[in-house]
């Protein structure tokens, strides 16, 4: 069953079209990866789906309800959590305050053993300023912060960016575990290889459009996938 269903989504910055007629579905409890080179329109799509950017056309349905023009905080309440590009943790606040800011009313982050079992390092860093954490620790904090919203759909933009392989393993492990608990995930990934290893299904974007889509297993065998990623000229 589709949790998220995007139809004909377009995003423009003035005269520049960043995303053109994007159709995309995410089922309950699956990881979908949005793959593509720089400037393909992946981040713009995630921002539009999370309500941080007003789309110029198209519909976005969550559980059958149209959410295309809802403000970001309303969507956060409805169970959509975005971990945006660059993580955007609150650097001048402590790790604990970062978590408290994301708490649902009446909840404390300390009650959430799940987060600390996934990311034990955060427990040690509770009193530190988040800006002083390493990149990998910041990424864990950003995902933990999104998890506190108890999302049904979590959108993560380039979680592996700038991370050492060890941290990529931790982060991807956490994403898989969330999927196993029934959370749907939409993950932006620049590396096709990593995406194939993580996702159930993949959408490949180039220049604002989806050029190929399919299950990871079949795309992994498909020589055209690599060609499409790098563009026709490079494939020749």
Residues lying near another protein in the complex (CB under 8 A) are found at 50, 52, 71-73, 76-77, 81-82, 84, 88, 90-93, 97-98, 100-105, 145-146, 148-149
DSSP annotation string for the chain: -EEEEEEEEEEEETTEEEEEEEEEEEETT-EEEEE--TTSSHHHHHHHHTTSS--SEEEEEETTEE-TT--HHHHHHHTEEEE-TT----TTSBHHHHHHHHPPTT--GGG-HHHHHH-HHHHHHTTSBGGGS-HHHHHHHHHHHHHTT--SEEEEE-TTTT--HHHHHHHHHHHHHHHHTT-EEEEEES-HHHHHHH-SEEEEEETTEEEEEEEHHHHHH-HHHHHHHH-HHHH-
Residue 23 CB contacts under 8 Å (≥ 6 apart), including other chains: 6, 7, 8, 9, 210
Cβ proximity to another protein: between 143 and 228 the closer is 143
Q: Which CB, 175 or 192, lies closer to another protein? A: 175
103/161 with CB nearer another protein? 103
State the minimum distance, in angstroms, from the CB of residue 222 to another protein. Answer: 35
* Nearest distance from C-beta of residue 1 to another protein, angstroms: 25
Q: How far is CA 39 from CA 16, 36, 96, 122, in A?
A: 12, 8, 34, 33
- Closest approach of another protein to the CB of residue 109, in Å: 11
| Closest CB 15 distance from another protein, rounded Å | 10
To another protein, the closest distance from the beta carbon of 103 in angstroms equals: 7
Q: How far is the CB of 101 from another protein (least distance, A)?
A: 4
Which of 109, 212 has the CB closer to another protein?
A: 109
Residue 51 beta carbon to another protein: minimum distance, rounded to whole angstroms: 8
Q: What is the dihedral of CA 66, 55, 151, 156, to 10 degrees?
A: 150
**82 vs 163, beta carbon nearer another protein:** 82
Cβ proximity to another protein, 77 vs 235, nearer residue:
77
Please say which residue, 34 or 192, places its beta carbon nearer to another protein. 34
């Amino acid at each position: 069953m589709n949790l998220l269903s995007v139809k004909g989504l377009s995003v423009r910055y003035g005269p520049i079209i960043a995303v053109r007629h994007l159709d995309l579905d995410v089922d309950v409890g699956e990881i979908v990866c949005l793959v593509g080179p720089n400037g393909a329109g992946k981040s713009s799509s995630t921002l539009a789906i999370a309500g941080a950017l007003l789309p110029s056309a198209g519909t976005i349905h969550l559980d059958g309800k149209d959410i295309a023009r809802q403000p970001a905080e309303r969507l956060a309440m409805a169970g959509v959590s975005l971990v945006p590009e660059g993580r955007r943790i609150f650097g001048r606040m402590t790790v604990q305050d970062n978590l408290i800011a994301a708490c649902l009313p009446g909840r404390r982050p300390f009650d959430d053993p799940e987060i600390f079992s996934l990311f034990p390092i955060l427990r040690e860093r509770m009193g530190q300023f988040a800006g002083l954490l390493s990149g990998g620790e910041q990424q864990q904090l950003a995902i933990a912060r999104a998890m506190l919203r108890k999302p049904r759909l979590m959108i993560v933009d380039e979680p592996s960016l700038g991370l050492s392989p060890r941290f990529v393993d931790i982060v991807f492990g956490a994403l898989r575990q969330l999927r196993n608990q029934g959370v749907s995930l939409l993950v932006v990934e620049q590396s096709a290889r990593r995406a194939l290893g993580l996702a159930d299904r993949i959408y490949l974007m180039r220049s604002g459009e989806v050029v190929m889509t399919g299950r990871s297993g079949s795309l992994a065998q498909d020589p055209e996938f690599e060609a499409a990623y790098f563009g026709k000229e490079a494939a020749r």
